[in-house]
Amino acid sequence: MPLTPGTTLGRYEISTPLGAGGMGEVYLAHDTALRRRPVAVKLLPADFSRDEGRLRRFEQEAYAVAKLNHPAVAHIYEIGESDGLHFIAMEYVEGETLGEMIHGERAPLAKLLKYLAQVAEGLAKAHAAGIVHRDLKPDNVMIARDGYAKILDFGLAKLVEPQKTSAADGDAGEAATALIRQLSSPGVVMGTVGYMSPEQAQGRVSEIDQRSDVFSFGCILYEAATGRRPFEGKDALDSLHKIVHAPVPQIKETNPGAPGELQRIVRRCLQKDPERRYQSIKDVAIELEELLQELRGETEPTRPEVSTTSGGMLSGGIESGGATTSGAQSASQTQTSAAPEAPRSASSAEYLAGQIRRHKTGAVVALAAVVLGVAAAAFGLYKLAERDRSASTARFQPGKVDRLTGTGNVRNVAISPDGKFVAYAADEGGRQSLWVRDVATTSSVQAVAPAEVEYTGLNFSPDSNYVYYSRAEKGATTGVLYQVPKLGGTPKKLLAGVDSSVTFSPDGKRLAFLRALGAKESALVVADADGTNERKLASASAPALFSVYDSAPGWSPDGKVIACGMTHAEANGLYSTVVGVNVADGTIRPLSSQRWDDIFGKLAWEADGGGLLMSAREKRGLFNAAQIWRLSYPGGEAQQITQGLSRYYNVSLTSDSRSLVAITQDMFASVWTAPVGRAGAATQLTSTPGARDGYCGVAWTNGGKILYVARKIARADIWVMNADGGSQQQLTDSEDVERYPSLTRDGRYMVFDMLHGGTSNIWRADADGGNLKQLTNGVFDHTPHCSPDGKWVAYLAASQLWKVPIDGGQPVQLTDQPSECPAFSPDGKLVACYYQSETSAPWRLALVPAEGGQPSKLFDVATTRNTSGSGAPRIWIVLRWTPDGRSILYVADSGGASNIWSQPVEGGKPVQLTDFKSDLIWTFDLSPDGKQLVMSRGRYVED
């Protein structure tokens, strides 16, 4: 019996029916607990729920898809049961199906191939997890309103990996997956006629694996190019016969304008023998991307006008012609367009995609692709695509890619102007050394021995014979410029007070760099190449300063302009731009209207001066990592070149712009517990490869359980588990990012910040994640902590501390100077935090009255700096009090490892509580009884 509007299934309230099919009914619903955007609820019919085999397949669908983390695969929210009804809550997508785009919109072939390349990436992720779709077709691919493809309805998914089965399982297992009695129809084949593989059509169940999806994908490719199905017949049986016996049709017979390369790809996908097909959909994805690169440089081919009739679906998904789940009312849409802003291909495909504006000249310049490894980020050489005067955008083609290091400890990098050498700084246990690698022979030499310093601002001399670098003592914010022969030798000191990488004039006779002049002024300084004749070319004063510590200037090839990053302060926070300083008179002008959250590393000019490359983060947020951008000159158009969750920085170009080098950074984390004072007894609770468990939040509950933040794709949610790591359960699940959970002492509420795009606010929820309430409305409110009486929440906003009533209301400002990491004392009278008396002062541990005002005490402790080099503590490293209120716990790094220390409130030396020899501590919490620590530990991987 169909559900009526207002019916509730668990926490989901039914709104309207969307469709029905062999594997279930679908309804539009609302999550009453989390108040998320509409969701789709897939309900298993009553007679199915009485069939254990079918119930097992229904649950298999959900568990299989729930394992997948990819923007092209729809997300499963929950598998549930309510009053005997079994259901899956999943994403709801508004848009149109690929089938509608092919036959209704008649979209250009290049556009269709772009979406199919995304589908191939999503399938590659599924196949890597051991999941086969088994019912791939245009109506199971949704093009969401944000322009990205989503694979729908894994209702026929079969786990490829062997599973333990009993004799009873065999009756409704393999055979039932391929041939089942569906509703009242006797014995129909699982799949959709027209897209089945030969092994599916013949019921050869044991042969169905990921290569079956490759065949179905080939059918869709053919249909996208021609508007017809490749094996159309008079009826279903005729189509099945053609799938098994008919030769692969020729695309050019229907669409002569289609690329010949597409026919080759389709022909290999549609081989009858699985052994002769592509053995991996990943290979198809790569070839499609290469084909798309060619099409972008040509007139996009179109498809002929073909009238088609759709064949009947035998089972799986929801039958065509029925009700639908999208605004376009497509039969198999059961997902949502609320996906995060994810790259088109964010899987382990490791693909760098983008377009680069053409030079005014017709020079051949190839831009490189950075290929990320599965476990570590790669860094490599790139080539800029061939330029053409007649068009405004260049085709982007990956060049030869070399991963130069695999140690994960690279901190800075530069490529020599001639492209033959790469210099980089390596960190071993907190001691850094400088290395120079011969690109051709792959041999490396140590140019500068290890020391407990930081080597920043690497660059080569214009003749490629010397490496310039800035050496800063640990914790210092300024450095001394040195020069050393590229193959090692005695370093020569040139200049003090160098706060960025140097850049050389085209003739190599002068260099320029940035320097901080106190808290409210910075300067662009020019000197001779030997460090003499230093002079200030331009200065900038607050609220707009040169981005001294984060970015580095770049001298244009014509010698007339030096490009610099500029940081601007406004009421809503900070943003960065690129400006040009006139070398002749020091005047400053903007080079683009584009705003970024931050700009990192060098600004590297292209050889003909037609643009520059740089690393920048467009929006603040955990998943808005710095990417490589191109800024055209003098037009100022900004184009993002790289995509993904990894951070790219330290872009360095050769003098001919044919190759570049960059660093990629990834971060990994897992949750650990340890008795206080016994770090040797630490226990690792989570161990998912590549995960970031707890990286921005862990907390003990009064009941002895652990809250922790776990990342899935481009978002993070709050989970809870037992103290031994068991019974892991998700508490929050939205399209946004929930971080830094903190519980009230009575366990009634938890508070956290929720990140949406570049904005973050403080939210309150019941301890089980329900009944959300927004407490603040600032631009970037984060890192909350509950007062012991449960009435207030302290948090950080605009680099200062605030508190807000836990029931909502007017926020109260606590500090008027830069502050981080608030933590209420056990008696609620004080708030511990990191504090700066002024912008240029060192960070210290402070005690601030809970009512606000100046610190009552300040402690000089070893603060852990963030990775941007700004000197601030990592904001996700919290402070915690001991239950008796006598000490404050904090994290400090030494020797490449983090440990927890205790600072007595009455003064005295800090006491080290843990003695870890490796890995960093991202965040931690102390149990209510003060006996157990929970920590998120991990590392950065930079190559």
DSSP characters over 412-441: EEEE-TTSSEEEEEEEETTEEEEEEEETTT
Q: Is the pLDDT of residue 741 over 80?
A: yes
Q: Is the pLDDT of residue 475 over 80?
A: no
pLDDT of residue 937: 93
pLDDT band with cut points at 50, 70 and 90 for residue 330: very low
Radius of gyration of the chain (CA): 30
User: What is the tens place of the pLDDT at every residue in 408-465?
Assistant: 888 899 999 999 999 999 988 778 999 999 988 888 899 999 998 888 889 999 999 9
pLDDT of residue 645: 63
Q: If we measure between CA atoms, which residue out of 361, 421, 352, 393 comes closest to residue 606?
A: 361
Please tell me which of 151-155, 350-354, 612-616, 876-880 the model is most confident about, judged by mean pLDDT.
Answer: 612-616
Q: If we measure between CA atoms, which residue out of 807, 766, 779 comes closest to residue 35?
A: 766
Q: How far apart are CA 628 and CA 77, in angstroms?
A: 33
Strands 887-894, 535-541: pairing kind? unpaired
pLDDT of residue 903: 96
3-state secondary structure of 654: coil
User: What is the tens place of the pLDDT at every residue in 482-503?
Assistant: 999 998 899 999 998 888 889 9
User: Of the given ranges (682-691, 771-780, 787-796), which has the lowest mean pLDDT?
Assistant: 682-691
Q: Is the pLDDT of residue 250 over 80?
A: yes
The strand pairing partners of 935, in sequence order, are 672, 924
- For tokens 């929820």, the residue is 765
pLDDT band with cut points at 50, 70 and 90 for residue 153: confident
pLDDT band with cut points at 50, 70 and 90 for residue 87: confident
| Residue 710: Cβ-neighbour burial (10 angstroms; 0-12, 13-18, 19+) | buried
pLDDT of residue 736: 78
User: Of the given ranges (316-325, 486-495, 668-677, 811-820), which has the lowest mean pLDDT?
Assistant: 316-325
pTM (two decimals): 0.54
Q: How far apart are CA 33 and CA 56, in angstroms?
A: 27
Element (H, E) at 502: none
| Residue 773: Cβ-neighbour burial (10 angstroms; 0-12, 13-18, 19+) | middle
pLDDT band with cut points at 50, 70 and 90 for residue 332: very low
Question: Once rounded to an integer, what is the mean pLDDT over residues 163-176?
Answer: 33
pLDDT of residue 560: 96
**In terms of pLDDT, which residue wins out, 274 or 369?**
274
The strand pairing partners of 752, in sequence order, are 763
> In the numeric block, which tokens belong to residue 936?
């998120």
pLDDT of residue 168: 35
Q: Is the pLDDT of residue 361 over 70?
A: no
Q: Is the pLDDT of residue 825 over 70?
A: yes
pLDDT band with cut points at 50, 70 and 90 for residue 583: very high
Q: Where are the beta strands (DSSP E) in 499-634?
A: 503-504, 510-516, 521-528, 535-541, 544-546, 551-552, 554-555, 561-570, 573-582, 588-590, 598-605, 611-617, 627-632
pLDDT of residue 821: 92
Cβ atoms within 10 Å of 300's Cβ, excluding its own: 12
Q: Is the pLDDT of residue 621 over 90?
A: no
3-state secondary structure of 294: helix
Q: How far apart are CA 654 and CA 417, in angstroms?
A: 4
- For tokens 């996208």, the residue is 224
> In the numeric block, which tokens belong to residue 535?
């002079």
Q: How far apart are CA 714 and CA 70, in angstroms?
A: 9
- DSSP letters spanning 34-59: T-PSPEEEEE--HHHHT-HHHHHHHH
Element (H, E) at 174: helix 174-178
Q: How many residues does the chain have?
A: 943
Please tell me which of 171-185, 189-203, 301-315, 790-804 the model is most confident about, judged by mean pLDDT.
Answer: 790-804
- For tokens 């996700």, the residue is 876
Q: Are 649 and 942 in contact (CB under 8 A)?
A: no
pLDDT of residue 647: 80
User: Of the given ranges (80-89, 282-291, 329-338), which has the lowest mean pLDDT?
Assistant: 329-338
User: What is the tens place of the pLDDT at every residue in 96-118?
Assistant: 899 999 998 888 888 899 999 99
With a CB cutoff of 8 Å and minimum separation 6, the contacts of 592 are 577, 578, 631, 636, 637, 638
| Residue 917: Cβ-neighbour burial (10 angstroms; 0-12, 13-18, 19+) | exposed
Q: Are 325 and 43 in contact (CB under 8 A)?
A: no
Question: Once rounded to an integer, what is the mean pLDDT over residues 625-648?
Answer: 84
Q: If we measure between CA atoms, which residue out of 736, 735, 788 comes closest to residue 762?
A: 736
Question: Once rounded to an integer, what is the mean pLDDT over residues 142-154?
Answer: 80
Q: How far apart are CA 426 and CA 432, in angstroms?
A: 5
pLDDT of residue 788: 96
Question: Once rounded to an integer, what is the mean pLDDT over residues 810-820?
Answer: 93
Q: How far apart are CA 380 and CA 300, in angstroms?
A: 31
Cβ atoms within 10 Å of 305's Cβ, excluding its own: 7
pLDDT band with cut points at 50, 70 and 90 for residue 740: very high
Question: Once rounded to an integer, what is the mean pLDDT over residues 779-804?
Answer: 93
Strands 932-942, 660-675: pairing kind? antiparallel
Q: Is the pLDDT of residue 126 over 90?
A: no
Q: Is the pLDDT of residue 627 over 80?
A: yes
User: What is the tens place of the pLDDT at every residue in 366-422?
Assistant: 223 332 332 223 333 333 333 333 333 343 344 566 778 888 888 899 999 999 999
Question: Once rounded to an integer, what is the mean pLDDT over residues 675-703?
Answer: 86
- For tokens 């790094």, the residue is 893
Question: Once rounded to an integer, what is the mean pLDDT over residues 85-92?
Answer: 82
pLDDT of residue 192: 79
Q: How far is CA 1 from the centre of its chain?
A: 43
Cβ atoms within 10 Å of 648's Cβ, excluding its own: 29
Q: Is the pLDDT of residue 49 over 80?
A: no
Q: How far apart are CA 34 and CA 764, in angstroms?
A: 11
Q: Is the pLDDT of residue 222 over 50?
A: yes
User: What is the tens place of the pLDDT at every residue in 586-611?
Assistant: 999 999 989 988 888 899 999 999 99
pLDDT of residue 888: 97
pLDDT band with cut points at 50, 70 and 90 for residue 887: very high
Cβ atoms within 10 Å of 681's Cβ, excluding its own: 9
- For tokens 């030997």, the residue is 530
pLDDT of residue 336: 31
For 852-874, letters b (16+ CB in 10 Å) and e give eeebeeebebbbbbeeebebbbb
Q: How far apart are CA 34 and CA 537, in angstroms?
A: 55
pLDDT band with cut points at 50, 70 and 90 for residue 690: low
Backbone angles phi, psi at 611, to 5 degrees: 170, 175
3-state secondary structure of 185: strand
Q: Quote the mean pLDDT of the chain.
A: 79
pLDDT of residue 36: 60
The strand pairing partners of 897, in sequence order, are 894
Q: How far apart are CA 417 and CA 657, in angstroms?
A: 9
What's the per-residue H, E or C state across 625-653? CCEEEEEECCCCCEEECCCCCCEEEEEEE
Q: If we measure between CA atoms, which residue out of 410, 414, 354 comes closest to residue 385?
A: 354
- Residue 543: cis peptide before it, omega within 30 degrees of 0: yes
Under DSSP, the state recorded for 386 is B
Cβ atoms within 10 Å of 560's Cβ, excluding its own: 14
pLDDT of residue 342: 31
> In the numeric block, which tokens belong to residue 674?
């340890």
* Residue 851 identity (one-letter amino acid): E
pLDDT of residue 129: 77
User: Of the given ranges (124-138, 287-301, 819-833), which has the lowest mean pLDDT?
Assistant: 287-301
Q: How far apart are CA 593 and CA 64, in angstroms?
A: 46
Long-range pairs of 364-369 with CB within 8 A, sequence gap ≥ 24:
365/606, 365/607, 365/656, 365/657, 365/658, 366/397, 366/399, 366/658, 367/396, 367/399, 367/641, 367/660, 368/398, 368/399, 368/400, 368/401, 368/659, 368/660, 369/398, 369/399, 369/401
Q: How far apart are CA 906 and CA 641, in angstroms?
A: 53
Q: Are 150 and 138 in contact (CB under 8 A)?
A: no
Q: How far is CA 370 from the centre of its chain?
A: 15
User: Of the given ranges (14-23, 87-96, 628-637), which has the lowest mean pLDDT?
Assistant: 14-23
Q: How far apart are CA 474 and CA 137, in angstroms?
A: 58
Q: Are 486 and 421 in contact (CB under 8 A)?
A: yes
**In terms of pLDDT, which residue wins out, 793 or 60?**
793
